[in-house]
Structure 1
C-alpha cells in the first residue's frame, strides 16, 4: 500500500455531515478535528502525555482515527482503503506496530466477518502481510482467526491458505496445534473436488508443500490422498504433475520410506501406462527421492522399474545413476537430481517471502520528505474575506499539512 491508495476514504461535509469521494480520511472529520486533544476509539481523548514516547503519538492518533472509520458501517465503502492505510502505517513502524495489534486485529476480523467476498479476500491478503510483519506476535489472535477461516471454507480457499502458509512460517513447530483441524479440511478438497482442472486441489497441494516438515504426523492421511490423485485419469495432466511434484517435495523433507510400497507401485503403473512424457519424467524424479531415503531397501523394486523403463524405452539419467550407486553400495548425493527441482518445504509461501523481503521488521518509522512548495501554496491567504472563506482555508491547510507530514502514519490518512 502507499499514500496514494489510501486517499479515497470520503469526506464529511462540514455542513451536511455526508460522505463524498475523492479526498482523504482526515477530510472526513471522522478522524481528526481541531481540538486540544485528539479523539481516540470510543471517544476518549488522546493527549501527547498519554503516549509512551513522542514518536508514538502520531501513529496512535492515526490508527485510532482509522479504527473509528472501520467501525462505522455508513463508511463501509471505504473500509478496504482504511485497511490498506493501516498496513502502510504498520510497514513503516516495523515491529513497533505490535503495540497496536489488540486494537487492530479484532477490527480486521470484524470486517472479515461482515464483508462481501471481494472485501473478505482483500482482508485475508492484508492479514497475510501482517503475519509476515509481526510473526509470532499474531499468536493471541489465531483462535478467533481460524474460527473465521472455517466459516469461509472453501469460498475464499486460495486467500485463506495463503494466510495459513504465512502463519505456519511465523509459528513454525507451534503451528502443529492447528493442523488437526486443517489437514482433514484440505484433504477433503482433494477427495471431493470434481472436474478436470481442479483449481482448489492445486492450491491445496501447494500448501501441503509449504507446510512440509510440519506434516510428519499426518503422512498416513496425506500419502494415500496424493497417490489416489496421481492415478486419477479424470484430471488434467497439470493436476497430476502438481500431485507428483508435491509427493516428491514431501519426500525431500519428510521420511516416507515406510510408505514406499504405496508410492512405488502407483508410480510404476503410471510409467507402464499411457501417461505423457512429462508425467513419466516427473514420476521418475519423485522415485529418485524414494531411492535416496530407502537406500538398500529399494533394491526389491529395481527389477520392476527397470523392466518397465526398457519396455517403454524410457531414459532418466538421474534415476539410473542413483540406482547404480545403491546397487554398488556407494554414497548417495544429497540431491539426486542435481538441481532444486524439488526444494524442501520451507513453511513460507512465495507471496510471504516477497513481503518478508520488503519489510525491515526491526526498523522504526522513517520520516518522509516535506514538499514545502505545496505548503506555501496552501497557506496563501489571498482573497479570503468571509468566515466561510477562512473556514475553507483552514480545512484545506489542515489537509495539506497532513498530506505533507513527515510522519508516515499521518500521511497514510
Structure 2
C-alpha cells in the first residue's frame, strides 16, 4: 500500500495512476475492513488526484473507485464526506454517471451524514431536470442524462421527502413538455425512445408520491401536492399513447390513495372520463394502424400483456373504499372478491366472481409483491425492462451492503471483479514459471543481468500467493521501480510455496549471481538485502555465511559484512576472519571494537594452545599473560611472544607494535619479502621516510629475487598473502 501511494503522490507518474488505483481497489477488496487503517493515507490523495488530473478517463475511473470504496468501508469514510460532496458538486455536469453512482453509494454507506447534503443535492437534481434542449430537440445524450438523474431520484426518494414540493413540480413540467413533444413526432423509432423517457419520468413521480403514504416516507406532506399532480396528469393523459398512459393511470391511482375520501367528490368523475377517452383513442388508433393496439406512432409491443386502464383505476377506487386492504394492489382485489356486491364506478364492469377473478389475474400481473406497479410490463419491456440503463444504482433504502459492484456492469469499474471468497483464499504459485524467471544460464553481459533481475522481480509478483502482491504485477510491469521495491516481500511470499527441489535450484542460481562477472552493483546490493530480509523477518536462506560475508565486502556494505564475519568467527575462527574483522571495524571507524577483536583473538588462541598441548602452553601461555610492566621490561611491547599476526596489528593501526614483530621476523628470515614490505608499510605510516629508503637499499637483493628463489630462500615465512599485496598497493598509491 505504501509503494502504491508513492506512485499516486508523484505527479510525474500520472500515466500510471489509473493502474495504480486498480491495484489499490483490488487490495482493498481482498483486505475488507482491515484496509481501514490505510484510509487516512490513501483517500485524501485519491480525492486530490480527482481534482487535479487532466484526463477525463482517469477522473471517471477514480470516481467509480471511490464509489466502490464507499460500499466496502462504509461508515469509516465519514471524515471525507465533505470533500467527496465537494467533488460531486464540481464534476456534476462533466461526470454525471460516476457522480450519481458515488452519491447513491454514499447514501447507502453514511446515511446520517448524507442527509446534511440533501439540500445541495436537490439543487443539482433540479439544475438537470429544469434544463430543456435547444430548439426542443431531445437527442439521445440529453435523454440519457435525464434518465440517470431520474433513476437516482427514485433510489434516494426516502431522503428527499422534505423537498418534494420542489422536485414534483419540476418533474411535472418535464413530463408535460416531453409528452407534448412525443405527440408531435412522426417516426416510429423516435416515438418509441420518447415513450421510454416519458414512462421513466412518470415512474419517478409515482415513486416520490408513493413515498408520502406513511410507509416510511414523509407522511406530513399535505394533500395539495398529489392534488396538483393529478390535475396536470389528467392533461397529459389526453396526449399520451397507450404505454405512457398506463404509467399515468398508475400514478393517478397513487394520488387517489393519498387524497383519500375527498377524491370521489372532487376528482373521480373527471378522472374516469379522461381515462375512458384515453382508452378509446388508443384503441381506435391501434385498429387504424394495425399495430396491435400499441398506440399512435409507437412500434408494436409483441407478446406484452396489457392491463386495461379503467380496470386499474377501478381497482384503486375499490381499495380506497376498503382501507384495510392495500391502497392499490392485489390485496384490494382479494377484498373486492369477498365483497362482490359492492358496485364499481363502471356500470359495464363484470361484477360476477369470475369477473373479479379476471381482474385479480390481470392486476397480479401488473403489481409486484410490494404492491408496486411493474411499469416495464405495461410499457412493453418484457421481463428485462424497457430501460436499458447504462448503470444499476443500488436502492439506498433497500439494498444490502455489498463490496462487489453488479456483475452486469463490472467493466465500468476498471478492476478485476472477483468475489470475496476468491480474493480471500491463497492463490496458487506456478513454480515452473518462477524457475524459468530465475534461471541464470546464458547471462553474461550487464544488460543480461539487468533483464534477469527485472523479469525475476515481476514474475515473483505475478506468482505471489498474496492477492495484494499479485494485484501490483501489472503496475510493476509498466513501472519497474515498484517491482524492485516489492522484490523482498514477493520473494518471501513465494518462498514458502516452493518445494525443496525448487528451493535448492533457486539458491544455486543466487550463488551464481553472487560471484558472476559483470553483475551490476545495484543487483548485488539487492540480493544482499534480500538475504538480510529473509534472515531477519522470514527464515535464513541456506547460503554459506562466508559467501554472504564476501558479498557484503564486495558491495562495501561494511555493517552487513561485520554481521556475517562475526557469525563466521563464532563458527570457524581463522586468521583471515580475524584480520577481516579488524579491517571492517577500522572501516566503520570503530577502533575500540577492532582492538577488542584482537584481544579476543589472543585469548582464544591462548585457550586453544592450552587445550591442545601443555608444552606449547608453557612456551606461549606465559607470554600471553604478561602484564604491561612485564612486557615493558622485556622490551618487546604488549604483543611480544604471542601468536598474533603482524598484519592484524597493521590493520588495527598499531604501527609501532607491528613494526617490532616484523623486525623480529625479518631478523630470523632476512629474505622474507612479507616482513620487508610489512616493515616498509609501518615506517611509511609513521612518516619515517629515511628508514624506508635505508631498508629498501639493504633488502634490494631479496626484493630482486625470482619467485622460485624466494621460495627456496625464505620458505614458508616468505609467503606474501594476496590480500596483503593488494593492501600495500592501495597504501602505496595513497602515499604517492
- TM-score bracket, shorter-length normalisation: 0.7 to 0.9
Partner of 2:466: 407
Deviation at 1:231, TM superposition (A): 1.1
Gaps of 5+ in 2: 183-193, 214-220, 281-307, 330-365, 376-393, 407-416, 473-736
Deviations 1:369-401 (CA, angstroms, capped at 9, x unpaired)? 111111122222222344543443233222211
1:78 corresponds, among 16, 22, 27, to 16
How many residue pairs get matched?
348
Partner of 2:2: 64
- Secondary structure of 1:313's aligned partner: helix
1:393 corresponds, among 433, 452, 462, to 452
Deviation at 1:361, TM superposition (A): 7.5
Moved more, 109-118 or 196-205: 196-205
**Structure 2 residue 300 is the aligned partner of structure 1 residue 319:** no
**Structure 2 residue 217 is the aligned partner of structure 1 residue 275:** no
Q: For CA contacts below 8 A with separation 6 or more, give which structure has more relative contact order.
A: 1
Change (3 A) 1:201 1:91: same
**Structure 2 residue 404 is the aligned partner of structure 1 residue 355:** yes
Moved more, 358-367 or 188-197: 358-367
The answer to whether the 8 Å contact 2:161/2:211 transfers is: no
* Mapped partners of 1:325, 1:164: distance in 2: 37
Gaps of 5+ in 1: 1-62
Kindly report which structure 2 residues correspond to 1:24-173, keeping only aligned pairs within 5 A, or say none: 63-115=1-53, 116-173=55-112
Moved more, 235-244 or 171-180: 235-244
TM-score, structure 1 as length reference: 0.77
Partner of 1:287: 252
Change (3 A) 1:89 1:122: same
Partner of 1:204: 149
Deviation at 1:83, TM superposition (A): 0.7
Change (3 A) 1:313 1:383: closer
Moved more, 219-228 or 361-370: 361-370
Deviation at 1:342, TM superposition (A): 5.9
**Structure 2 residue 162 is the aligned partner of structure 1 residue 214:** no
Deviation at 1:353, TM superposition (A): 6.5
Deviations 1:25-46 (CA, angstroms, capped at 9, x unpaired)? xxxxxxxxxxxxxxxxxxxxxx
Question: What is the alpha-carbon root mean square deviation over aligned residues?
Answer: 2.8
Deviations 1:305-338 (CA, angstroms, capped at 9, x unpaired)? 11122333363222211212324x3533266252
Change (3 A) 1:94 1:334: farther
Deviation at 1:172, TM superposition (A): 2.3
Change (3 A) 1:354 1:311: farther
Deviation at 1:92, TM superposition (A): 0.8
Kindly report which structure 2 residues correspond to 1:231-242, keeping only aligned pairs within 5 A, or say none: 231-232=176-177, 233-234=180-181, 236-242=194-200
* Mapped partners of 2:278, 2:8: distance in 1: 63
Which stretches of structure 1, 4 residues or longer, exceed 4 Å deviation after superposition?
A: 356-365
- Secondary structure of 1:381's aligned partner: coil
Change (3 A) 1:330 1:210: closer
Deviation at 1:366, TM superposition (A): 3.3
1:338 corresponds, among 343, 352, 367, to 367
